[in-house]
């Protein structure tokens, strides 16, 4: 069976996921496209999915009888209504992060899915599918003993002028927030944010770098440096310190050069290159589960937990180093 997918939002990631489904992955095809900017949907249709039908609204695409499953890759603020409409239609839906722009919005999706009685939603937290993080998780489970500390860094070479302090949480830390809950099989209880002096190339609306300290229920302390104008490259670091040893996220493959009296190897500069393979694996996983009418992988509950944690981290950014509590209600049985 070929899963027939409708894509809402044909910007950068919507186009890229359409390419994946049409040219890389197995078991699915894009049969419908929609975007507020219909010319953008038309261009993706012409380039990648000539048989797809164009819809003027995401709602019409979700309701279309030929659409078995939905990809929501539009602007973040539109995710919640589209995911709710897909759940109401009983159609599996892959939603790029964020699941919703508020914790209450993510909670509404959880409630709708619980009322439906079966998982339909997968959230695009692709790091869980990265070969490096999977190997790290296995090493933590098999070798390091129970985790005590995590030291991490998320560095970008540069960000646009419009990137301001809270975006370090919503757009950048959001991936660490999800992947560490998964890596440690744990939940957060508090967040703190500490700032060194601002880097000289930052500006008045961006504190950069910053350090977020998350504490978990099991007592693990996680420090994450976010440095989005680090200049030298896109660099994701993570070291888990356990009872018996430490485990470090593998570096992306790079040829080791000996040249000009130096040992050297390249560092990536574009985040798309760092996680390109994990996007393929996450969407193939979605296709497999959606073909059976359900969903797997990062859930609406994970999207909700990430939204609650993000809100606490943004509050902590304005709390002069004080800890902000992170509280989640009891997890519904659907997500056990
Ligand atoms: P983008 O290039 O701006 O694309 C978003 C597209 O959605 C644009 O074509 C936009 O049209 C369209 N759109 C806006 N409102 C809409 C609506 N009501 N209905 C249908 N389409 C609408 O952004 P992007 O970089 O692809 O990001 C899209 C989403 O994916 C964001 O939530 C982002 O956070 C997420 N994302 C996740 C990752 C990841 O690592 N997992 C990576 C990249 C992006 P206009 O341009 O005309 O407004």
- Whether 329 and 194 share a structural domain: yes
List the residue whose alpha carbon is closest to atom 25 of ligand 1: 12
**Counting beta carbons within 10 angstroms of the beta carbon of residue 326, is it exposed (0 to 12), middle (13 to 18) or buried (19 or more)?**
buried
* E strand residue ranges, the chain: 3-8, 28-34, 53-55, 69-72, 93-95, 121-123, 147-155, 188-194, 210-216, 221-227, 235-242, 246-248, 257-259, 262-264, 324-325
Ligand 1 midpoint to CA 172 (Å): 16
- CA-CA distances (angstroms) from residue 64 to 59, 93, 132, 233, 304? 9, 14, 39, 43, 28
In terms of phi and psi (left: phi > 0; alpha: psi -120 to 50; beta: otherwise), the region of 306 is: alpha
Q: What is the dihedral of CA 141, 135, 300, 65, to 10 degrees?
A: -140
- Whether 74 and 162 share a structural domain: no
Q: Are 316 and 323 in contact (CB under 8 A)?
A: yes
- Whether 123 and 157 share a structural domain: no
- pLDDT score, position 104: 97
Ligand 1 midpoint to CA 73 (Å): 5
- Whether 68 and 182 share a structural domain: no
Mean pLDDT calculated for residue range 68-86: 97
- Whether 117 and 264 share a structural domain: no
Ligand 1 midpoint to CA 245 (Å): 41
- pLDDT score, position 92: 98
| Segments forming the whole domain that contains residue 289 | 3-127+277-299
Mean pLDDT calculated for residue range 246-267: 97
- Whether 84 and 143 share a structural domain: no
Structural tokens at position 6: 């409708």
pLDDT digits (tens, 9 = 90+) for 130-163: 999 999 999 999 999 999 999 999 999 999 999 9
Say how many residues make up the chain. 336
Number of domains within the chain: 2
Question: Does ligand 1 have an atom closer than 6 angstroms to the CB of 76?
Answer: yes
- Determine the atom of ligand 1 nearest the C-alpha atom of 126: 41
Question: Does ligand 1 have an atom closer than 6 angstroms to the CB of 40?
Answer: yes
What pLDDT band is residue 231 in, cutting at 50, 70 and 90?
very high
Question: Does ligand 1 have an atom closer than 6 angstroms to the CB of 130?
Answer: no
List the residue whose alpha carbon is closest to atom 44 of ligand 1: 13
Mean pLDDT calculated for residue range 209-217: 98
- pLDDT score, position 183: 98
User: What is the spatial distance between Cα 29 and Cα 75, in angstroms, rounded to a whole number?
Assistant: 23
Question: Does ligand 1 have an atom closer than 6 angstroms to the CB of 78?
Answer: yes
pLDDT digits (tens, 9 = 90+) for 162-186: 999 999 999 999 999 999 999 999 9
What pLDDT band is residue 81 in, cutting at 50, 70 and 90?
very high
List the residue whose alpha carbon is closest to atom 1 of ligand 1: 11
List the residue whose alpha carbon is closest to atom 20 of ligand 1: 35
% of residues, the chain, pLDDT over 70: 100
- pLDDT score, position 10: 98
- Whether 182 and 323 share a structural domain: yes
Q: How far is CA 192 from the centre of its chain?
A: 21
Mean pLDDT calculated for residue range 11-40: 98
CATH of residue 185's domain is 3.30.360.10
- Whether 52 and 119 share a structural domain: yes
Question: Does ligand 1 have an atom closer than 6 angstroms to the CB of 35?
Answer: yes
Mutate to test the pocket of ligand 1, among 20, 61, 75 (most ligand atoms within 8 A of CB): 75
Nearest Cα neighbor of 334 from 307, 295, 282, 305 is: 295
- Whether 64 and 189 share a structural domain: no
- Determine the atom of ligand 1 nearest the C-alpha atom of 78: 18
β-strand pairing of 221-227 with 147-155? parallel
- pLDDT score, position 107: 98
Q: Are 86 and 70 in contact (CB under 8 A)?
A: yes
Ligand 1 midpoint to CA 9 (Å): 6
Structural tokens at position 116: 């439906």
Mutate to test the pocket of ligand 1, among 13, 34, 310 (most ligand atoms within 8 A of CB): 13
- Whether 230 and 147 share a structural domain: yes
- pLDDT score, position 162: 97
Ligand 1 midpoint to CA 147 (Å): 36
- Whether 54 and 186 share a structural domain: no
CATH of residue 46's domain is 3.40.50.720
Window from 77-81, 195-199, 208-212, 272-276 with minimum mean pLDDT: 272-276
What pLDDT band is residue 249 in, cutting at 50, 70 and 90?
very high
Strand partners, 318: none
User: What is the spatial distance between Cα 153 and Cα 280, in angstroms, rounded to a whole number?
Assistant: 24
Question: Does ligand 1 have an atom closer than 6 angstroms to the CB of 96?
Answer: yes
Question: Does ligand 1 have an atom closer than 6 angstroms to the CB of 126?
Answer: yes
Ligand 1 midpoint to CA 75 (Å): 4
- Whether 165 and 237 share a structural domain: yes
pLDDT digits (tens, 9 = 90+) for 296-312: 999 999 999 999 999 99
Question: Does ligand 1 have an atom closer than 6 angstroms to the CB of 18?
Answer: no
Ligand 1 midpoint to CA 229 (Å): 23
pLDDT digits (tens, 9 = 90+) for 258-298: 999 999 999 999 998 999 999 999 999 999 999 999 999 99
């Amino acid at each position: 069976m070929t899963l027939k997918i409708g894509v809402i939002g044909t910007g950068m990631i919507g186009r890229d996921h359409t390419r994946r489904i049409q040219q890389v992955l197995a078991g699915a095809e894009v049969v419908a496209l929609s975007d507020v900017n219909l010319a953008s949907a038309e261009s993706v249709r012409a380039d990648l999915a000539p048989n797809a039908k164009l819809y003027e609204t995401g709602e019409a695409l979700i309701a279309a009888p030929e659409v078995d499953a939905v990809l929501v890759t539009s602007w973040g603020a539109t995710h919640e209504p589209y995911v709710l409409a897909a759940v109401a239609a009983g159609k599996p839906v892959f939603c790029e992060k964020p699941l919703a722009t508020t914790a209450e919005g993510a909670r509404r999706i959880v409630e709708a899915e619980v009322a439906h009685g079966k998982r339909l939603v997968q959230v695009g937290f692709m790091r869980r599918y990265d070969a490096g993080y999977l190997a790290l998780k296995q090493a933590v489970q098999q070798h390091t003993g129970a985790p005590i500390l995590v030291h991490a860094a998320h560095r970008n070479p540069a960000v646009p002028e419009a990137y301001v302090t809270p975006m370090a949480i919503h757009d950048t830390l959001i991936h660490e927030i999800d992947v560490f809950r998964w890596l440690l099989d744990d939940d957060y209880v508090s967040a703190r944010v500490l700032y060194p002096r601002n880097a000289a190339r930052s500006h008045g609306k961006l504190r950069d770098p910053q350090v977020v300290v998350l504490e978990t229920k099991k007592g693990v302390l996680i420090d994450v440096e976010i440095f989005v104008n680090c200049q030298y490259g896109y660099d994701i670091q993570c070291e888990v310190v356990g009872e018996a040893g430490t485990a470090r996220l593998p570096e992306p493959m790079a040829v080791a050069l000996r040249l000009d009296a130096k040992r050297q190897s390249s560092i990536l500069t574009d985040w798309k290159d760092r996680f390109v393979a994990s996007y393929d694996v996450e969407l193939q996983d979605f296709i497999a589960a959606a073909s059976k009418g359900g969903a797997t992988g990062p859930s609406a509950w994970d999207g909700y937990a990430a939204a609650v944690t993000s809100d606490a981290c943004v509050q902590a950014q304005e709390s002069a180093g004080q800890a902000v509590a992170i509280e989640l209600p009891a997890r519904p049985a659907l997500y056990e």
